[in-house]
């Protein structure tokens, strides 16, 4: 591992001053960054440890009914917070499906938002990768790419964003609170992760010197708590990254869908919000035919980026299945296998 300097600022002002150096990386739980440093993929000259910054470990309900979760809140603490899990059950389910208990105890909200792609070519310093070395090319285009993007990709990059947590957040209109030299601003989670363009190495909306302070969820998002599920397809029923995933949240009135919020994971460089499918579901019966039509609409613009055309069909199926699970109602208790397609669908629901 390359040697580096280590700083642990006590205030936000000190942290922002330290980030003025472009060869600086931010350290939270370190569950992703340290792996990349050991691989020789991340080569920072210094680390800025945010663990001592005041207030970043809080889970708060604000006067307007919205929620604010600090960047240093641990994944395990957020998933098991009773108030949060009741208001946003599919977010808690996504968190609990995403990693082992040991990793959830260390990983932070901010680190989850900022985690790098798990593309094997990105993680190999000897491979060509436009994310890691701008302008070098993309070996994934001709290499092993069965797990790569089918939406929003370009020849510059076909990698996917690996987070489970971010998929339901995109569906629920979450915003990322960011601090930097110009002050504090809020970025919609849906567009926080950038699709690959001419600057494929720029993967988030953060400007130089900015850091993630918190995540905000609007009060209206809690209205979907009774009909919300997160499902993921993985190559083994264990704590593996999603090959594909889907978040579905509904408001159901008299057997019809009054409102829908949908997002897909494992299909693009960002969690993919399915706006066209949401519109199609408005006023539709909460029935399999409606779910199938919406799922087809969500994948209408999808195209293989390699040996991964099968992902388009599977993504339609998992989204339709997530919609059926959401329509049936949020389980009163967290499933024994959160996010699993193998969960028992006959359990008691919270809305009954």
Q: How far apart are CA 161 and CA 181, in angstroms?
A: 27
Q: Place 349 in a pLDDT band, splitting at 50, 70 and 90.
A: low
By DSSP bridging, strand 183-188 and strand 211-217 are unpaired
Whether 292 is in a domain gets the answer yes
Whether 25 is in a domain gets the answer yes
Q: Compute the mean pLDDT over every residue in the chain, rounded to the nearest whole number.
A: 93
- How does pLDDT run across 48-80, given as a tens digit for each residue? 999 989 999 999 999 999 999 999 999 999 999
CA distances from 136 to 22, 127, 157, 158, 197 (A): 21, 9, 11, 14, 14
Q: What is the CATH number of the domain that holds 273?
A: 3.30.390.50
Does the pLDDT of residue 236 top 80, yes or no?
no
Whether 156 is in a domain gets the answer no
At 42, list the tokens: 């991340």
Q: Place 351 in a pLDDT band, splitting at 50, 70 and 90.
A: very low
Whether 179 is in a domain gets the answer no
- How does pLDDT run across 117-154, given as a tens digit for each residue? 999 999 999 999 999 999 999 999 999 999 999 999 99
Q: What is the pTM of this model?
A: 0.94
At 104, list the tokens: 């959830």
Beta strands in the chain (DSSP E): 5-7, 24-27, 46-49, 59-61, 67-70, 175-180, 183-188, 211-217, 228-233, 244-253, 256-265, 272-273
Q: Place 287 in a pLDDT band, splitting at 50, 70 and 90.
A: very high
H-helix segments, 52-175 = 75-79, 82-87, 89-97, 101-106, 109-114, 166-171
Contacts 24+ apart (CB under 8 A), 76-81: 76/101, 76/104, 76/105, 78/109, 79/104
Does the pLDDT of residue 225 top 60, yes or no?
yes
% of the chain at pLDDT higher than 90 = 84
> Mean pLDDT, to the nearest integer, of 314-328?
97
> Mean pLDDT, to the nearest integer, of 146-170?
97
Does the pLDDT of residue 249 top 60, yes or no?
yes
> Mean pLDDT, to the nearest integer, of 164-192?
97
CB 35 within 8 Å of CB 123: no
* pLDDT confidence of residue 352: 38
Does the pLDDT of residue 339 top 50, yes or no?
yes
Q: How far apart are CA 171 and CA 278, in angstroms?
A: 10
CB 273 within 8 Å of CB 172: no
Q: What is the CATH number of the domain that holds 30?
A: 3.30.43.10
Decide: residue 46, CB within 10 A, 0-12 exposed, 13-18 middle, 19+ buried: middle
> Mean pLDDT, to the nearest integer, of 316-323?
98
Whether 321 is in a domain gets the answer yes
CB 175 within 8 Å of CB 185: no
Whether 209 is in a domain gets the answer no
- How does pLDDT run across 20-50, given as a tens digit for each residue? 888 999 999 888 899 999 999 999 999 999 9
* pLDDT confidence of residue 337: 81
CB 294 within 8 Å of CB 323: yes
At 15, list the tokens: 């942290």
> Mean pLDDT, to the nearest integer, of 289-293?
98
φ and ψ of 28, to 5 deg: -110, -100
* pLDDT confidence of residue 343: 65
Containing structural domain, residue 251? 226-328
Which residue bears the tokens 């609170």?
177
* Number of domains observed in the structure of the chain: 2
Does the pLDDT of residue 234 top 90, yes or no?
no
Q: How far apart are CA 352 and CA 345, in angstroms?
A: 14
């Amino acid at each position: 591992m390359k040697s580096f300097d280590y700083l642990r600022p006590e205030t936000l002002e000190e942290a922002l001053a330290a980030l003025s150096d472009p060869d600086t990386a931010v350290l939270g739980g370190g569950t992703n960054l340290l792996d990349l440093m050991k691989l020789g993929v991340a080569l920072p000259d210094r680390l800025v440890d945010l663990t001592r910054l005041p207030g970043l470990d809080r889970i708060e309900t604000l006067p307007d009914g919205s929620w604010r979760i600090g960047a240093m809140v641990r994944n395990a603490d957020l998933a098991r917070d009773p108030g949060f899990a009741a208001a946003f059950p599919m977010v808690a389910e996504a968190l609990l499906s995403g990693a082992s208990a040991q990793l959830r105890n260390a990983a932070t909200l901010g680190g989850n938002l900022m985690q790098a792609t798990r593309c094997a070519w990105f993680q190999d310093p000897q491979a060509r990768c436009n994310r890691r070395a701008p302008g070098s090319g993309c070996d994934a285009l001709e290499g092993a790419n069965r797990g790569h993007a089918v939406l929003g990709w370009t020849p510059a990059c076909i990698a996917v964003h690996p987070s489970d947590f971010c998929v339901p957040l995109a569906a629920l209109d979450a915003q990322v609170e960011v601090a930097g030299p110009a002050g504090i601003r809020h970025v919609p989670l849906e567009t926080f992760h950038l699709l690959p363009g001419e600057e494929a190495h720029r993967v988030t909306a953060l400007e130089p010197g900015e850091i993630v302070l918190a995540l905000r969820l609007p009060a209206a998002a809690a209205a979907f708590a009774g009909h919300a599920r997160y499902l993921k397809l993985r190559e083994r029923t264990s704590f593996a990254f999603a090959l594909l995933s889907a978040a579905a949240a509904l408001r159901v009135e008299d057997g019809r869908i009054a409102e829908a919020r949908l997002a897909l994971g494992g299909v693009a460089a960002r969690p993919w919000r399915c706006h066209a499918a949401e519109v199609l579901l408005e006023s539709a019966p909460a029935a399999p035919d409606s779910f199938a039509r919406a799922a087809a609409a969500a994948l209408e613009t999808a195209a293989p980026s390699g040996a991964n055309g099968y992902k388009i069909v599977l993504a339609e199926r998992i989204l339709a299945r997530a919609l059926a699970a959401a329509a049936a109602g949020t389980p009163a208790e967290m499933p024994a296998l959160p996010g699993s397609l193998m969960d028992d669908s006959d359990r008691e629901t919270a809305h009954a």
